[in-house]
Amino acid sequence: MIAQLGAALRAARVAANRPITLLSLALFAVYSVYALARQVTYLTAGYDLGIFDQAVREYAHFHAPIVTLKGAGYNIFADHFHPIIALAAPLYWVFDSPATLLVVQSGLIAASVPFVYAFARRRMGLGAALAVAAVYGTGWALQAMVDFDFHEVAWGVPILAATIDALDRRDDRALLISAGLLMLVREDMGVIVVVIGLLRLLHRPRRTALWLVGTGAVGYFLVTALVIPAFAPNGQFAYWTFDALGQDLPHALVNIVAHPLRTVRLFVTPSIKAETLGFFLVPLALLPLRSRYALIAFPLLAERFFNSRDHVWTTHFHYNALPWVVLVLAMIDGGGRLRIWSRPVPRRVLIGYLVAVAVLISVVPNPTPMVFRRMATGEAWRVSQHLRDQRAAVAQLPSGVCVSVDDRLAAHLTNRDRVTLPDVSTPRTDFVALDMSQADVGFQLPTPQAVLADVRAKGYVPVFTQGDLIVLRSPDYAGPTPGCNP
């Protein structure tokens, strides 16, 4: 009798988990196909897919993560602290390609969905929880992340979801483990761990909370003040770009407290910041504002909206994925606090609203790059003459050579050549490949016209021209050498 009861319970658990498993696998498949299509159609780039491909490949060979795309001998720890990316290295023993990271990122997004489902399931029925998990998994912020190559914050998506889920369940063991992993995603995750620790202070015993606050704060300062500067060529942490607040975090905190109105104004202006906030809150019916978990999103949003780099204010790229994780969980919690999930009519109305807005954002043209719309219209697979020219230029480059290439070509060469970008320090360049249709050869780098004039003055000879693509060879080139292997 007991055995039969146990078998029945296991069968019920499997049946309950089957829908969320299928949803996660479907998202993994769709996002992987789309990401690989971007690679095949040359929409990926050296910044950032090529950079992480070079770093993880070095890890796979048990070498220091030297990234030649950022300069000769450049250690990736001079840029950001993200040792967790080394977990992808064993996959390179099986399939040595930048495409591996694209599939990994899709898998990490899919892995976060069951945590959101479990969080929702504690507050609502199975069907409603599944719908909320689908709204999360197809959310515009995750689609925008898939539309942008690969980034280390992809690891933070499931880990942050697991961390908040553990906090919600008051499982201190799981909370400490997931928070520890979170700090390996990037240096700024230390601040997130501090906020999570402060929320944990609301409940006894408080030892775990104090540990989280202390570890997060100390970890952030050690990494930004000692670890990253130790690897950086100029001995400095390069990503304090909050000039409007102060020269470092302590000064910024003082200014925030001393000038609160100015801080609020800076947070929401110019209007692109308010638009991005609207994309977060309106699709979630403003419910995150009712949850204390929304406080975890504030450092993530502040890191962007107080930033001097205006491209991080938008709904594009990967920057929105982590706030989306937090705010969806906060929406679920906020709805629970308002008792929406326990009342049939409000629950159905809200679920209908969430699904309708999610579908609307996915199908109606808007500033956000949407995976499903681009797949449905065939834009994701489109082959142009320019794409054919890019492929032909890459085919002209021999394997095992030192090349300086346009950023849009780099991710197709990092697994076979020693690749850098034009105007980035390198001791040797056998070939230069330029796309004359681009405004620059890479982010904050010269125009292709300026690079072409420079390399021609150095004696480089054109060996291939097709459309806007041109490949030039060094006058000293005498064949591939071991020093130019990836």
- Work out the angle at residue 141's Cα, subtended by the Cα atoms of residues 55 and 132, and round it to the nearest 5 degrees: 125
Q: What is the pLDDT of residue 9?
A: 44
Burial of 205 (0-12, 13-18, 19+ CB in 10 A): exposed
Q: What is the pLDDT of residue 5?
A: 43
Domain regions of the chain by residue span: 21-36+105-239+270-376, 385-484
For the segment 30-58, what is each residue's pLDDT rounded down to a tens digit? 999 999 999 999 999 999 999 999 999 99
More confident residue, 296 or 309: 296
Q: What is the pLDDT of residue 198?
A: 97
pLDDT band at 14 (very low <50, low <70, confident <90, very high): low
Query: Which residue, 194, 248, 188, is CA-closest to 216?
Result: 194
More confident residue, 107 or 251: 107
Lowest mean pLDDT among 243-247, 457-461, 467-471: 243-247
Q: What is the pLDDT of residue 242?
A: 87
Mean pLDDT of the region 391-403: 95
* % of the chain surpassing 70 pLDDT: 97
Residue 148 has pLDDT above 60, yes or no: yes
8 A C-beta contact, residue 285 and residue 353: yes
Mean pLDDT of the region 392-415: 96
Lowest mean pLDDT among 147-161, 273-287, 356-370, 443-457: 356-370
Mean pLDDT of the region 274-282: 96
Query: Which residue, 102, 119, 124, 115, is CA-closest to 343?
Result: 124
How far from chain centre, in Å, is Cα 434? Answer: 27
Residue 477 has pLDDT above 60, yes or no: yes
DSSP 75: B
Q: What is the pLDDT of residue 365?
A: 79
More confident residue, 248 or 175: 175
Query: Which residue, 370, 359, 374, is CA-closest to 315?
Result: 370
Query: Which residue, 159, 191, 188, is CA-closest to 175?
Result: 159
Strand partners, 432: 404, 472
Q: What is the pLDDT of residue 241?
A: 84
pTM: 0.94
8 A C-beta contact, residue 329 and residue 300: no
pLDDT band at 6 (very low <50, low <70, confident <90, very high): low
Residue 12 has pLDDT above 70, yes or no: no
Average pLDDT, the chain: 93
Query: Which residue, 245, 234, 50, is CA-closest to 151?
Result: 50
For the segment 191-232, what is each residue's pLDDT rounded down to a tens digit? 999 999 999 999 989 999 999 999 999 999 999 999 999 999
Mean pLDDT of the region 145-169: 97
